[in-house]
Amino acid sequence: MLIKEFIQVLRDKRTRFMLFGPPIVQMLIFGYAATLEIKHVPTAIVDYDNTEASRDLISRFAASEYFDVRHLRADQRQIPMLIDRGDVTLAMQINAGFAQNLGKGQTAHIQLIVDSSSSNTALIGLGYVNQVAGNFAEDYQMSRLMRLSPAMTSGMPRVVLDHRPWYNTDLSDRWFFIPGVIGNLIMVIVVNLTAFAVVREREIGTLEQIMVTPIRRVEFILGKTVPFFLIGLLDSILVTAFGTLWFGVPLRGSIGVLAVGTILFLICVLAIGLFISTISRTQQQALMTAFFFIMPAIVFSGFGTPISSMPEAMQWLTYLDPLRYFQEILRSVYLKGVGLDVLWRQMAAMAILGIIMLTISVFRFQKSLD
Amino acid sequence: MKLHRLKAIVSKEVLQIMRDARSIAIVVGMPVIMMLAFGYGISFDLKHLPVYVFDREGSRQSQDLLKHFQASEYFEVVQTVNSYPALVRAIDAGDCKLGLVVPHDFSHRLNSGRPVSVQALIDGTDSNSANIAIAYSQAVVRNYSQQIQFDWIRRHGQSAIQSPLSIDARTWFNENLESMANIVPGVIVIVMAVIGTFLTALTISREWERGTMEQLISTPVTAFELMLGKLAPYFVIGLLDTFLCTALGVLWFGIPFRGSWILFLISSTLFLMVILSVGYFISVVAKSQLAASQISLFATFLPTFLLSGFLFPIDQMPVAIQAVTYLFPARYYMTIVRNVFLKGSAIALLLDELIAMSIMAFLLVFVATRVFKKKLS
């Protein structure tokens, strides 16, 4: 039984490739394409003041790697078109009187238009603008005070933020996404394979043939799941090795903890796959139903964006998602290097979910065989 | 091409879809579920980031700074701890994403006019959130620092000091800077790509698997008729789903639709043609439904998700990957959909994308028919 299933999966050259090719390609695409980092934001600046002060401000923007100042001598009337066309994301206008206001100690205004159709780019871009402008303002104020009363500046209080990103010191998106992709891949591969395996037999009619052989139910279920369990395990070793060796994502925690998490997660996804197979008659149904499960599961897991930013009702739903816990385990073991003392909660949640889902699935599965 | 033969195939295909209750549930349910899951689930708007605080001084001034954090909607100070190890544990366990450490001589240094630094320990695992959190916390501290300096200057005799620079930022197209306005139109593209390829690739490869395709071939139907007849129902489904998603986006999520409906319809038609041809092509190439599903996932879903600019801006990718994105139709359609929804762009600005999709549609229909004919002979 076990051997038959293995042979079936590994016989077809294309399926064989599909088991191991896409994981690698996906890792590659995710590793290189998935970046939320924003640099070189295309920027237009219109300077109607054209003084030393305004040029100083512009040069600070030009010097920053976050901005790509493209249209310097643009006319104010060109700005709407530049933004409409998507040529620039930021457009800044410095009005005449900028330096004069600064010199008088009054507030000088800068007009800024942001194309926020891509909100993340706009948000991060705005953050950078505030940073550059804030530094400019601070420097300018200091030099002004220096002129007015030099004594005062020597004892000026100041609070600065000394920020230290931990675990991912360079804030690399790759380090964030690669461990996450491992979870997604295992889920997609194992759920699909398991769901398909049973449904295909039913569709072709070989299920009846097997049922008349002396194979017991339990043996059948085991025969249908153990190979995929092993394939899932193999795939996870493959992608883990690839992520570590190719992309250099540090695996700081213990492989043992990772293995325990992976096994618990595999039980959960096998149960989901098995469940889908019991409610599908055709392979097409199985695939679409699997999609129904997998898509929300990936979104709810916090794979791409933080769970804390979701609406509260949705945050509660994420607790039912085994991938949520596995993502936390993957990222924690990889980047934080923490052990079971921290991750036991996630492990326990997955174990409970796995047992419940497996029980339901096996029960339904037995019924569907009758 | 004979119209009655075409009609026969279309009605057979429609019958097959209608008979299967699950297919209908999928065709209607999938877009709704995906819109809701993505629309609410993917949010780049950082809000209520859990913060732990280790205030080593506990003075009025240090509390004042922390109040500034508490007042910001981006942060939520959930707990105050009394030791450094407790803070480290909280970050390790993921209980907080940001840990603030106020030094023990905070007010002392401020009162004596010296700079003081506040430590922000940030869980950098989620790099994007960490980046935004850093920008927000810097803004909070900068404001606080400026306030202190103004107080200082006032106490030392200079009067009526003003903040030297103010930025009047206006956000166009998505005034409240909500990521939802960006994500929801993008989901339409994803839904169409999924429905378009998966449904077609699987139904047709099923015919191959069961051998019913050979039966069809022995009838006088031509390859082109067969393809057209097979795809027409899915084309209609695809368009219906586009409208369903658009209606959901506009009515439920309140995303503005500012552009031209005609432009939207033309580009959706082109995109569907491309994506259906790809599905058809896959079904011809793949031998089994399993293989067809895997190839679909690989050739359409993933690129649509990753390389279309849906979540990850294309202009930030390495140049080699940027070049690859031009090969996938979703890239063009994504640009058009977002522009039509949010910017209300005129056709002239999106001409490049329309032309690229037209060429793709033409080429793919041609190739799919050729490959199909070859397979028959």
Rounded CA separation B89/B78 (Å): 15
A227: closest CA of chain B, how far (Å): 17
- Rounded percentage of chain B residues whose pLDDT exceeds 70: 97
> Is it the case that residue B277 has pLDDT exceeding 60?
yes
Q: Quick one: pLDDT at residue B195?
A: 82
Rounded CA separation A307/B217 (Å): 52
Check if B103 contacts A (Cβ < 8 Å): no
- Mutate which: B16, B23, B294, B327, vs A, most A CBs within 10 A: B294
Q: Which of residues 213-272 of B touch A (CB under 8 A)?
A: none
**For residues B368 and B277, is the Cβ–Cβ distance under 8 A?**
yes
Q: Quick one: pLDDT at residue A265?
A: 95
Q: Quick one: pLDDT at residue A171?
A: 83
Closest CB from A29, A165, A168 relative to B302: A29
> Is it the case that residue A320 has pLDDT exceeding 60?
yes
**For residues B134 and B140, is the Cβ–Cβ distance under 8 A?**
no
State the pLDDT confidence band at B160, using cuts at 50, 70 and 90: low
The B75-80 sheet, strands edge to edge:
A158-166, B115-123, B98-102, B49-55, B75-80
Check if A29 contacts B (Cβ < 8 Å): yes
Neighbours of A90 (CB within 10 A): 25
Pairwise CB contact (< 8 Å): B127 & A291? no
Chain B hits for A159, Cβ within 8 Å = 65, 110, 115-118, 141, 144-145, 148
Distance in angstroms between the alpha carbons of the first and the last residue of chain A:
19
Beta bridge partners of A91: A44, A113
> Is it the case that residue B242 has pLDDT exceeding 90?
yes
Q: Which of residues 28-67 of B touch A (CB under 8 A)?
A: 29-30, 33-34, 37-38, 40-50, 65
- Rounded percentage of chain A residues whose pLDDT exceeds 90: 27
Residue whose C-alpha is closest to residue A116's, from B179, B166, B345:
B179
Over residues A292-316, the mean pLDDT reads: 87
Check if A252 contacts B (Cβ < 8 Å): no
Sign of CA dihedral B216, B222, B227, B232: negative
With residues binned 3-state (H G I as helix, E B as strand, rest as coil), the percentages for chain B, rounded to 5, are: 70, 10, 20
Tell me B307's DSSP state: S
Phi-psi bin for A86: left (phi > 0), alpha (psi -120 to 50), beta?
left
Over residues B316-321, the mean pLDDT reads: 88
**Cα B38 from chain centre:** 8
Pairwise CB contact (< 8 Å): B41 & A336? no
Rounded CA separation A310/A316 (Å): 10
> Strands, E, within chain B: which ranges?
49-55, 75-80, 98-102, 115-123, 165-172
Q: Quick one: pLDDT at residue B93?
A: 85
Pairwise CB contact (< 8 Å): A158 & B115? yes
Average pLDDT, rounded, for chain A: 85
pLDDT in tens, B84-108: 999 988 988 888 889 999 999 999 8
Backbone angles phi, psi at B113, to 5 degrees: 70, 40
State the pLDDT confidence band at B316, using cuts at 50, 70 and 90: confident
Over residues A317-329, the mean pLDDT reads: 94
Q: Quick one: pLDDT at residue B191?
A: 87
Q: Which residue of B has its CA nearest to A280?
A: B22
> Is it the case that residue A188 has pLDDT exceeding 60?
yes
Q: Give the A:B interface size as CB pairs under 8 Å.
A: 373
pLDDT in tens, B9-39: 778 777 777 777 777 777 888 889 889 988 8
Q: Quick one: pLDDT at residue B83?
A: 92
Q: Which residue of A has its CA nearest to B179?
A: A119
Residue at B258: amino acid letter? R
State the pLDDT confidence band at B299, using cuts at 50, 70 and 90: confident
* Length reported for chain A: 370
Q: For residues B199, B279, A270 and A355, what is the CA-based torsion angle, rounded to 10 degrees? A: -40
> Is it the case that residue A345 has pLDDT exceeding 80?
yes
Q: Which of A151-165, A271-285, B127-141 has the lowest mean pLDDT?
A: A151-165
> Is it the case that residue B71 has pLDDT exceeding 60?
yes
> Is it the case that residue A351 has pLDDT exceeding 60?
yes
Chain A hits for B46, Cβ within 8 Å = 306, 309
Rounded CA separation B60/B107 (Å): 8
Q: Which of residues 115-154 of A touch B (CB under 8 A)?
A: 115-124, 126-131, 133-134, 136-138, 140-141, 144-145, 148-149, 152, 154
Backbone angles phi, psi at B130, to 5 degrees: -60, -40
Q: What angle do helix axes B179-194 and B329-338 make, rounded to 10 degrees?
A: 140
Closest CB from B117, B123, B152 relative to A156: B152
Q: Where does residue B229 rank: exposed (0-12), middle (13-18), buried (19+ CB within 10 A)?
A: buried
Q: Quick one: pLDDT at residue B87?
A: 92
A162: closest CA of chain B, how far (Å): 5
**For residues B133 and A127, is the Cβ–Cβ distance under 8 A?**
no
Pairwise CB contact (< 8 Å): B46 & A83? no
> Is it the case that residue B313 has pLDDT exceeding 70?
yes
Chain B hits for A18, Cβ within 8 Å = 291, 294-295, 298
Neighbours of A12 (CB within 10 A): 15
Coil, strand, or helix at residue B340? Answer: helix
**For residues B45 and B129, is the Cβ–Cβ distance under 8 A?**
no
Pairwise CB contact (< 8 Å): A12 & B50? no
Chain B hits for A152, Cβ within 8 Å = 152-153, 156, 158
> Is it the case that residue A294 has pLDDT exceeding 80?
yes
> Is it the case that residue B265 has pLDDT exceeding 60?
yes
Q: Quick one: pLDDT at residue B214?
A: 72
Please write down the HEC assignment for all residues of chain A: CHHHHHHHHHHCHHHHHHHHHHHHHHHHHHHHHCCCCCCCEEEEEEECCCCHHHHHHHHHHHHCCCEEEEECCCCHHHHHHHHHCCCCCEEEEECCCHHHHHHHCCCEEEEEEEECCCHHHHHHHHHHHHHHHHHHHHHHHHHHHHHHCHHHHHCCCEEEEEEEEECCCCCCHHHHHHHHHHHHHHHHHHHHHHHHHHHHHHHHCHHHHHHHCCCCHHHHHHHHHHHHHHHHHHHHHHHHHHHHHCCCCCCCCCHHHHHHHHHHHHHHHHHHHHHHHHCCCCHHHHHHHHHHHHHHHHHHCCCCCCHHHCCHHHHHHHHHCHHHHHHHHHHHHHHHCCCHHHHHHHHHHHHHHHHHHHHHHHHHHHHHHC
B91 sits in which H/E element? helix B84-93
User: Residues 6 or more apart from A239 whose CB is under 8 A from it?
Assistant: A23, A24, A27, A181, A182, A185, A186
> Is it the case that residue B376 has pLDDT exceeding 80?
no
**Cα A303 from chain centre:** 4
State the pLDDT confidence band at B80, using cuts at 50, 70 and 90: very high
Coil, strand, or helix at residue B114? Answer: coil
Average pLDDT, rounded, for chain B: 85
Residue at A285: amino acid letter? Q
Half-sphere exposure of B154 (CA within 13 A, CB side): 9
pLDDT in tens, A82-121: 888 888 999 999 988 899 988 887 888 899 999 988 888 8
Pairwise CB contact (< 8 Å): B44 & A102? no
Q: Which residue of A has its CA nearest to B321?
A: A33
pLDDT in tens, A223-246: 778 888 888 888 888 888 888 899
More confident residue, B14 or B62: B62
> Is it the case that residue A324 has pLDDT exceeding 90?
yes
ipTM > 0.90 for the complex: no
> Is it the case that residue A154 has pLDDT exceeding 70?
no
What pTM was computed for the model? 0.85
State the pLDDT confidence band at A269, using cuts at 50, 70 and 90: very high
Over residues A290-297, the mean pLDDT reads: 86
Pairwise CB contact (< 8 Å): A107 & B40? no
Backbone angles phi, psi at B98, to 5 degrees: -135, 130
Question: Tokens 């007010």, residue?
Answer: B107
Chain B hits for A115, Cβ within 8 Å = 172-173
Rounded CA separation A172/B171 (Å): 28
Q: Quick one: tokens of B200?
A: 């077609």
**For residues A128 and A89, is the Cβ–Cβ distance under 8 A?**
no
Q: Quick one: tokens of A63?
A: 């010097």
Q: Quick one: pLDDT at residue A63?
A: 92
Rounded CA separation A18/A16 (Å): 5
User: Residues 6 or more apart from B20 whose CB is under 8 A from it?
Assistant: A282, A285
Residue at B221: amino acid letter? V
A362: closest CA of chain B, how far (Å): 22
Neighbours of B176 (CB within 10 A): 10
Rounded CA separation B204/B224 (Å): 14
Q: Quick one: pLDDT at residue B249?
A: 94
Rounded CA separation B234/B227 (Å): 11
Check if A288 contacts B (Cβ < 8 Å): yes
Pairwise CB contact (< 8 Å): A283 & B34? no
Q: Which of residues 337-376 of B touch A (CB under 8 A)?
A: 338-339, 342-343, 345, 349
**For residues B233 and B280, is the Cβ–Cβ distance under 8 A?**
no
Q: Which of residues 154-213 of A touch B (CB under 8 A)?
A: 154-169, 171-173, 175-176, 188, 192, 196, 200
Q: Quick one: pLDDT at residue B268?
A: 94
Whole-Å CA distances, B125 to A127, A322, A328, B94: 20, 20, 10, 10
> Is it the case that residue A9 has pLDDT exceeding 70?
no
Q: Quick one: tokens of B279?
A: 């599905």
Q: What angle do CA A93, A98, A102 make, to 5 degrees?
A: 140
State the pLDDT confidence band at B54, using cuts at 50, 70 and 90: very high
Q: Quick one: pLDDT at residue B24?
A: 76
